[in-house]
Structure formats: structure tokens, C-alpha cells
């Protein structure tokens, strides 16, 4: 495809997308469906999870058309509204595992506290080591919380929501890819432990993967995602207050 034709197609798409949010919504859904088909065709390979391949395609289109993230976010706002009900629906598998959750409340509480603090401090430390600005540090701090919590938290304390969204996505994708490998390496076979670990580190993306693999893992992943979201909202202000480079 020659450059003038590519530029004309890019300009046409940009004009259409600015006129209505529908093109971005339809494009996102189509890309996801194609990515899901590839994922299932591959035998559910962790490296080909739909969120990862779909994000690569969407980011490529945004760069190609010169579209800012804010425009894309506005175009797919309807999908954002659906995150809340989808998260609440995770209470169904949780209810089925209520007795085991009661038995494991102590290790769950300890893992939650340690995991949440490590996620916050590690994000701040890594960003600081790379000379990130204060706004950057704040934006990446809630990276392990689900987007409906991470974005408002980052924005509230002066971080950039677009950067926070990228940090959350990268964390979810990498966590979903790495957690199964780490569990095999550490010989962790209990689906409850596997699920809690992936939900704590990879929030909604990891939870979606865990639900596909095992009902118990999905329930504990949902539990970890919900609890870590609350813990992040409570602990992040305290962590920022005691961090000397903020």
C-alpha cells in the first residue's frame, strides 16, 4: 500500500471516528473477537491472550491515525460502563466457594496485605529509578488494581489517567502470561492459590483467564481482584504520604 493511499485512509478514518464514537466501539469489538478466535485456535496459549494481541492492534491503529488516547477512551466509554456490572457478576463464583474462603481467611488476608504493598512500593520504586516525574510515579502506583479503581485513584492524586491505564494493562497482560509459568516453577497446584495470585497481580485480565481455566481459580481470582482494589484505595494515600521521593 503506497503512502498517499495510507494517508487518505487514515484521514478518512480519523474524520469518521471524530464524527461519532461508534467506529471505535465497533472496531474494538471486532478486534477482540478476532483475537479471541486466534487465542482459541492456538489452544489457549498465554502469550496470545486476546487482551494482549487486541491491544497491539488497537495501539497500532491509534498510532497510525494519530488519535489521542482520550479520543479512543471517549469512543469506547460504553464498554467502560460495562466493567462495573461485569465485576459485580463475579460474586456468583465467589458465593460457590464461600466455605473455603472462610477457612482460608488468614492466609488470604496476609497475602492481600503483602501483595498490595509490594505492588505499590515496587511500582513507585521502579518509576523513581528511571527518573519518572511525580505525576508518572502516581500514575503507575495503582497498576495492580482494576481500571475502575486505578484510574480515579491516579487522577485524584495528580497522575495521568492515560498512563495509569497503560500501566494497568501492561500489568494485567504480563501477570496473566507469567503467573501460570511461575506456579509451575514453584510447583503450586492448588487452584485457589493460583487463582488468588493471578487475581492479586493481574486484576480483571488475570481473573478472566482464571475463570476459563478452573472455577475455583476463577472464584479466588475474583476475590483477590476485589479485595486488592479496596486495599489499594485505602493504602495508596498512606504509601504516597510516607514515600520520600513523592
Chain segment 138-179, per-residue pLDDT in tens: 999 999 998 888 989 998 998 888 889 889 988 998 888 888
What integer pLDDT is reported at residue 1 of this predicted model?
A: 47
* CB 169 within 8 Å of CB 54: no
In which residue are the cell numbers 478452573 written? 214
**pLDDT above 90 coverage of the chain, percent:** 32
User: 73-82 contacts: CB < 8 A, separation 24 or more?
Assistant: 73/162, 73/165, 74/21, 75/17, 75/21, 75/22, 75/23, 75/24, 75/25, 76/21, 76/24, 76/25, 76/28, 77/21, 78/21, 78/25, 79/25, 79/28, 80/147, 80/148
Mean pLDDT of the 206-226 span: 88
Tell which wins on pLDDT, 52 or 91.
52
What integer pLDDT is reported at residue 81 of this predicted model?
A: 73
What integer pLDDT is reported at residue 52 of this predicted model?
A: 84
Separation CA 41–CA 221 (nearest Å): 25
User: Per-residue confidence at 17, pLDDT binned at 50, 70, 90?
Assistant: low
| Cell, residue 151 | 484510574
Q: Residue 101: is it exposed, middle or buried by C-beta count within 10 angstroms (0-12/13-18/19+)?
A: middle
Mean pLDDT of the 213-225 span: 89
* CB 120 within 8 Å of CB 141: yes
Tell which wins on pLDDT, 69 or 227.
227
Chain segment 183-202, per-residue pLDDT in tens: 889 898 899 999 999 999 99
Separation CA 189–CA 165 (nearest Å): 32
Reply yes or no on whether the pLDDT at 68 is more than 90.
no
Reply yes or no on whether the pLDDT at 132 is more than 90.
no
Lowest average pLDDT, out of 59-63, 86-90, 97-101, 225-229, goes to 86-90
Q: Where are the domains of the chain?
A: 1-75, 86-246
Reply yes or no on whether the pLDDT at 16 is more than 60.
no
What integer pLDDT is reported at residue 198 of this predicted model?
A: 92
55, 162, 179, 220, 231 from 133: Cα distances, Å: 26, 15, 30, 35, 24
* CB 228 within 8 Å of CB 145: yes
User: Per-residue confidence at 231, pLDDT binned at 50, 70, 90?
Assistant: very high
202 Cβ contact list (under 8 Å, min separation 6): 144, 171, 172, 173, 174, 175, 176, 179, 209
**pLDDT above 70 coverage of the chain, percent:** 89
Indicate the pTM of the whole model: 0.75
Reply yes or no on whether the pLDDT at 24 is more than 80.
yes
What integer pLDDT is reported at residue 236 of this predicted model?
A: 94
What integer pLDDT is reported at residue 109 of this predicted model?
A: 93
- What single-letter DSSP state applies at residue 87? H
Amino acid at each position: 500500500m503506497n503512502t498517499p493511499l495510507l494517508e487518505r485512509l487514515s484521514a478518512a478514518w480519523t474524520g469518521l471516528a471524530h464524527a461519532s464514537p461508534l467506529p471505535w466501539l465497533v472496531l474494538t469489538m471486532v478486534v477482540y473477537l478476532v483475537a479471541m478466535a486466534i487465542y482459541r485456535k492456538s489452544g489457549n496459549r498465554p502469550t496470545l491472550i486476546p487482551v494482549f494481541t487486541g491491544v497491539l492492534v488497537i495501539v497500532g491503529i491509534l498510532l497510525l491515525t494519530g488519535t489521542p488516547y482520550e479520543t479512543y477512551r471517549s469512543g469506547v466509554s460504553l464498554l467502560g460502563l460495562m466493567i462495573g456490572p461485569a465485576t459485580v457478576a463475579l460474586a456468583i463464583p465467589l458465593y460457590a466457594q464461600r466455605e473455603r474462603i472462610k477457612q482460608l481467611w488468614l492466609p488470604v488476608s496476609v497475602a492481600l496485605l503483602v501483595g498490595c504493598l509490594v505492588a505499590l512500593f515496587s511500582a513507585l520504586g521502579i518509576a523513581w529509578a528511571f527518573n519518572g516525574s511525580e505525576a508518572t510515579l502516581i500514575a503507575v502506583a495503582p497498576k495492580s488494581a482494576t481500571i475502575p479503581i486505578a484510574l480515579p485513584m491516579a487522577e485524584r492524586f495528580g497522575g495521568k489517567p492515560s498512563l495509569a491505564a497503560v500501566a494497568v494493562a501492561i500489568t494485567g497482560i504480563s501477570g496473566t502470561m507469567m503467573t501460570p509459568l511461575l506456579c509451575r516453577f514453584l510447583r503450586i497446584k492448588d487452584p485457589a492459590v493460583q487463582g488468588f495470585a493471578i487475581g492479586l497481580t493481574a486484576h480483571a485480565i488475570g481473573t478472566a483467564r482464571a475463570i476459563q481455566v478452573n472455577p475455583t481459580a476463577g472464584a479466588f481470582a475474583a476475590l483477590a481482584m476485589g479485595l486488592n482494589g479496596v486495599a489499594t484505595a485505602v493504602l495508596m494515600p498512606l504509601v504516597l504520604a510516607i514515600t520520600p521521593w513523592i
